[in-house]
Amino acid sequence: MPDKIDYDTKIPNNVELSSDRRLQRALEGWQPKFMSWWGEMGPALETNGVYLRTAVSVGRDGWAHFDHVKVPEYRWGIFLTERKEDRRIAFGEHKGEPVWQQVPGEYRADLQRLIVIQGDTEPASVEQQKLLGLTAPSLYDLRNLFQVNVEEGRHLWAMVYLLHAYFGKEGREEAEALLFRNSGSPDAPRILGAFNEETADWLAFYMFTYFTDRDGKYQLGTLKESSFDPLSRTCEFMLKEEAHHMFVGTTGVDRVVQRSAELIREHDRMDIAPRGGIPLDIIQKYINFHYSVSLDLFGSETSTNAANYYTAGLKGRWQETRRKDDHQLTDDVGVLDKPRDDGTWDSEEMQAILLLNLDLRDEYVADCQTGVKRWNRILDEHEIGFRFKLPHPGFNRDVGINSGQHITPEGTIVDEATWQAGKSKWLPTSEDLTFVRSLMQPVYERGKIASWVAPPTNGINGKPFDFDYVHLT
Ligand SMILES: [Fe+2]
Ligand SMILES: [Fe+2]
């Protein structure tokens, strides 16, 4: 398994694709379909070169190369981290056995399903973000958007490679379907709800890359533990690219909060909308929305599917190998908080193995708290008393034990009328969305930035903020 990526072929790769002519031909047949999908569903803004990173190696250091690239000429390819000698299964009933280089027949359907679900999210986010380039607040942000988009395209390649290489005819059909379904399509929507929501403005984009890409990080983290070694190695490399997407989200929200805080101080008022800033309560509503729809991506709190995937060794826990237990969870118990019909909360003790989705979600929630802390620190520095909060995990949920209940951000179970009356304080209203949209005027001049967001403290790859990150036509 070469560390370096071969760029002399139609499809860049480090999987020695040329040694398997059938597979190579099949993927070369999929490539033009991907390109026409990208042309149709990818970024609407045409550019004449974007300062992008491209993976050149999968090793630890110097894995990426930066240069201006014409976006449709980006070299999407297949990159897996190196195979580890003697890697063993870390959990479940096969714990201790060598990992699988081929798909065991009995797990074929389940593994294919997991790969398709992951694969479906990657092009979905490109579709959701299609129009954002038309209103970018700076060339720096525009560049980051394109970087995220091309890498999500590459993540689709990563999953399609597995489908083609290991799942035969069915896998090839699923690879076609990944280009056929589209975000928000009434007839053939993407599989998961959050990936059918619009990413209509740049605050939503920062929230999406903070909360929804972060869900992706946790899902990839569980697949990285998989006993199916090619899946594990693919996800390990995807996680490397994913880190930048979360950086875009974290620092994006930082910069909005920073700018809003500056405007509040400067004008000595909380309502900064007339001054071209985004009021803090609107930012909070965006947090409430994006966080709650991202929690839905973790699935039901109790799940026999997740338990079966774990026992079979298909999908582990976050940082499975660092956990200090038997990695089989046969006797462990966990606690689930459940809303009762009388409006009170109940705690139920149950087998830990049935609560694996919740276990992963808890890790995610703790991670999300770190963002809230950062944003509150910015308010602190500006001596502003307002505090951002993550809403209760039962708030605004469509999946799991809280769906069908009305739960406030504080975690109070309320009736329909109270929910309807409170909704406009908790979630972005159409007026809020229209207002935020009204701020989204493109700023394409080098070194300039829109009114509602602060410039970044650092540029990309050591370049300054006023670097010519994007050449427009
Ligand atoms: Fe991704
Ligand atoms: Fe991502």
From the CA of 245, how far away is ligand 2's center (Å)? 5
For residues 192 and 122, the answer to whether their CB atoms sit within 8 Å is no
**What pLDDT is recorded for position 5?**
83
In-domain check, residue 23: no
Beta partners for 68?
51
User: 65: which 2 tokens?
Assistant: 């190369």
| d(CA 155, ligand 1 centre) in Å | 5
- Residue 400 placed within a domain: yes
Q: What is the spatial distance between Cα 196 and Cα 125, in angstroms, rounded to a whole number?
A: 9
Expressed in angstroms and rounded, the spacing between residue 126 Cα and the centre of ligand 2 is 10
Ligand closest to Cα of 211 equals: 2
Ligand closest in space to the Cα of 214: 2
* 124 C-alpha to ligand 2 centroid (Å): 11
Say how many Å lie between the CA of residue 216 and the centre of ligand 1: 7
Give the distance (Å) from ligand 2 centre to CA of residue 264.
32
Q: Within a domain: residue 93?
A: yes
Ligand 2 mean position, distance from CA 53 (Å): 14
For 265-294, write each residue's pLDDT tens digit.
Answer: 999 999 999 999 999 999 999 999 999 999
Q: What is the pLDDT of residue 7?
A: 85
Total-model pTM: 0.96
Tokens of 96: 């201790």
Centre of ligand 2 from the C-alpha of residue 156, in Å: 11
pLDDT (0 to 100) of residue 58 = 82
17 Cα–ligand 2 center, Å:
25
Distance 221 CA to ligand 2 centre (A): 13
What is the reported pLDDT for 473? 77
pLDDT (0 to 100) of residue 8: 84
Per-residue DSSP letters for 237-252? Answer: HHHHHHHHHHHHHHHH
The first and second tokens of residue 32, run together, are: 């033009």
CA of residue 230 to ligand 1 center, whole Å: 17
CA atoms within 13 A on the CB side of 447: 3
17 falls within a domain = no
Residues 6+ apart with CB under 8 A from 111: 103, 228, 231, 314
Distance CA(214)–CA(199), nearest Å, equals 16
In a domain, 13, yes or no: no
CA of 151 to the centre of ligand 1 (A): 7
| Domain count for the chain | 1
Are the C-beta atoms of residues 215 and 204 closer than 8 Å to each other? no
* Residue 242 within a domain: yes
Q: How many angstroms separate the alpha carbon of residue 277 from the centre of ligand 1?
A: 30
Q: What token pair was written down for 241?
A: 């690219």
Give the whole-angstrom CA distance, residue 235 versus residue 220: 6
Provide φ and ψ at 346, rounded to 5°.
Answer: -125, 145
Does any domain span residue 353? Answer: yes
* Residue 19 domain flag: no
Q: Looking at residue 154, which CATH number applies to its domain?
A: 1.10.620.20
List helix spans (H) across 382-415. Answer: none
Phi, psi angle pair for 465, to nearest 5°: -60, -35
Ligand nearest to the CA of 237: 1
Ligand 1 center from residue 100 Cα (angstroms) = 24
Tell me, what's the pLDDT at 6?
Answer: 84
Cβ 47 vs Cβ 469: under 8 Å: no
> Nearest ligand, CA of residue 122?
1
Those residues with Cβ within 8 angstroms of residue 161's Cβ, 6 or more apart along the chain or in another chain = 15, 27, 78, 234
* Residue 91 token pair: 């959990």
Q: Which ligand is nearest to the CA of 234?
A: 1
91-102 burial string, b = 16+ CB within 10 Å, else e?
bbebeeeebbee
For residue 49, the one-letter residue type is G
Beta bridge partners of 52: 67
* Tens of each residue's pLDDT in the chain, 473 residues: 556 788 888 999 999 999 999 999 999 999 999 999 999 999 999 999 999 999 888 877 668 899 999 999 999 999 999 999 999 999 999 999 999 999 999 999 999 999 999 999 999 999 999 999 999 999 999 999 999 999 999 999 999 999 999 999 999 999 999 999 999 999 999 999 889 988 999 999 999 999 999 999 999 999 999 999 999 999 999 999 999 999 999 999 999 999 999 999 999 999 999 999 999 999 999 999 999 999 999 999 999 999 999 999 999 999 999 999 999 998 999 999 999 988 899 999 999 999 999 999 999 999 999 999 999 999 999 999 999 999 999 999 999 999 999 999 999 999 999 999 999 999 999 999 999 999 999 999 999 999 999 999 999 999 999 999 999 97
Q: What's the 94 CA to ligand 2 centre distance in angstroms?
A: 31
Domain with 191, as residue range(s), is 29-51+67-472
